[in-house]
């Protein structure tokens, strides 16, 4: 199935986090456009998550330890590991989850 990100609708899932979503059978793709200073509080989920840093800078805190992500960096977050985030600048991120995130349908 083909998707064009340019024409896919986006929605604000957390304040400042605009997301476009594509769901396969085993994975969910979340294309984020994030406003500078926006934060996501610490949380965890059963899904493995792979963060692809596309543009800007983002502070990803894993188990209380901060990591500064820049373009070209990729971060794998195992299932059930606690994480939080903060957009240091406006940024674009592709998060991929497996299994599918039913809450982003």
- Read off the tokens for 67: 């990591």
Return the number of the residue (3 or 11) whose C-beta is nearest a copy of itself: 3
CB of 44 to a copy of itself, least distance (A): 15
Measured distance CA(38)–CA(23) in Å, rounded:
25
> Is residue 80 within 8 Å of residue 30, measured between CB atoms?
no
Count of all residues that appear for the chain in the document:
105
Q: Which of residues 1-40 bind a copy of itself (CB under 8 A)?
A: 1-6, 22, 24-27, 29
Q: Which of residues 47-86 bind a copy of itself (CB under 8 A)?
A: 48, 50, 52, 67, 69, 72-76, 78-79
Measured distance CA(23)–CA(29) in Å, rounded:
6
Return the number of the residue (35 or 67) whose C-beta is nearest a copy of itself: 67
> Is residue 85 within 8 Å of residue 61, measured between CB atoms?
yes
Where on the chain is the footprint of a copy of itself (CB under 8 A)?
1-6, 22, 24-27, 29, 48, 50, 52, 67, 69, 72-76, 78-79, 94, 96, 98-99
């Amino acid at each position: 199935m083909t998707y064009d990100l340019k024409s896919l609708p986006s929605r604000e899932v957390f304040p400042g986090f605009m997301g476009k979503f594509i769901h396969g059978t085993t994975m969910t793709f979340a294309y984020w456009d994030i406003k500078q200073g926006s934060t996501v509080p610490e949380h965890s989920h059963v899904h493995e998550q792979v963060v692809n840093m596309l543009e800007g800078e983002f502070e990803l805190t894993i188990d209380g330890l901060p990591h500064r992500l820049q373009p070209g960096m990729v971060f794998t977050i195992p299932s059930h590991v606690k994480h939080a985030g903060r957009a240091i600048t406006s940024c674009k991120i592709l998060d991929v989850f497996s299994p599918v995130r039913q809450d982003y349908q």
